[in-house]
Amino acid sequence: MQKVIQVTPSQLQKMVAFYTSASTPHLPNGAVFAAKNSRASIIGYKSGKVLFQGLGFAQEAAIWQNGTVSTAAKVLGKKSTTPGVNIPNNFSNWSVLGSDEVGAGAYFGPLTTAAVFVAKENISWVRQLGIADSKTLTDAKMRQIAPDIIAKLPHHVVNLMPEKYNILQQKNNVNQMKAISHNFVLGKVLDKISPTMPDGILIDQFAQESTYFKYLHNAKQSKIVQQNVYFTTKGEQYHLSVAAASILARVVELDAIDSLSHEAGIRLPIGAGKEVDIVASKLLKQGADLNHFAKLHFANTLKAEKLKR
């Protein structure tokens, strides 16, 4: 379970920078860096040889293999611009635990994160629900599908309502809150399906892999899910588990918005545009506490206060 590739000096330096946050303290003789992430252990030598070991050695090596510096460079940033670059062949037919979140860009309402386990024997059933391209489904269609997912598939949802969100946001940036939420729901589903283990875990990517795990370590999470974890943007295109998780998260978010709208006595729009500013200013004029309804760190809060005057 290992692979050795030969890289150029410039590529070796890119790898040193790439793996800085995952570096390990002890360097073997002749090594310029040693690192370990959720997929593999990596050791780079002065000779240009790089050793990959672990369950995900092939996927990790594929980032750098055959001198593909441009491919590796794409994942150096916060977010890979090439969806699926690290996803193994035939991944869509694996038993996978997938996670996704919604609400991070909406002023009103919660940050909602869901995880769903789709075993390979359930893939055909899930496919028949018509959720392969979940991002194109209407809210009504997702509300129709969600009960079937809940009844059939192991899942968990965490819903950070605005008041809780605003407390956490004082100490954590949004991506760190996302990471904590993804880790939490994944751990809950793993507990539910134990001792069964998924072939892989797929997180709809919002940050570089090393940054994601750094967030969790900095937040001192007692249990970090990191075995066989894969990241990609547009995760719903690579496994139906992420599509199912996206649907559950969206429906829970919609229910929360409905409930908050009822409390406010006015329909709370989703998003962060001008309509949101107007509704927020109306709530302020009525003496409502925006902390209960909205993510206060958004610029919409200041805009609403100005409109109120």
- Is 69 among the domain residues? yes
107 and 226 housed in the same domain:
yes
Q: What is the CATH number of the domain that holds 188?
A: 3.30.420.10
- Answer whether residue 220 is part of any domain: yes
* Contact between 204 and 165 (Cβ < 8 Å): no
Residue 71's pLDDT band (boundaries 50, 70, 90)?
very low
Q: How many domains would you assign to the chain?
A: 2
Predicted confidence (pLDDT) at residue 161 exceeds the cutoff of 50: yes
Q: What is the per-residue pLDDT across 110-125, written as a single tens digit (0 to 9) for each? A: 999 999 999 999 999 9
Kindly indicate the confidence band of residue 20, based on its pLDDT and cuts at 50, 70 and 90. confident
CATH of the domain at 29: 3.30.310.10
Asked if residue 292 is part of any domain, the answer here is no
What number is the average pLDDT over the span 56-82?
56
Indicate whether 177 and 39 sit together in one domain: no
pLDDT digits (tens, 9 = 90+) for 74-112: 443 334 446 777 788 889 999 999 999 999 999 999 999
In which domain, by residue range, is 49 found? 2-74
Q: How confident is the model at residue 133 (pLDDT cuts 50, 70, 90)?
A: confident
pLDDT score at 82: 67
Question: Across the chain, what does the average pLDDT equal?
Answer: 89
Same-domain check for residues 67 and 113: no
Same domain for 62 and 134, yes or no, is no
Same domain, 208 and 111: yes
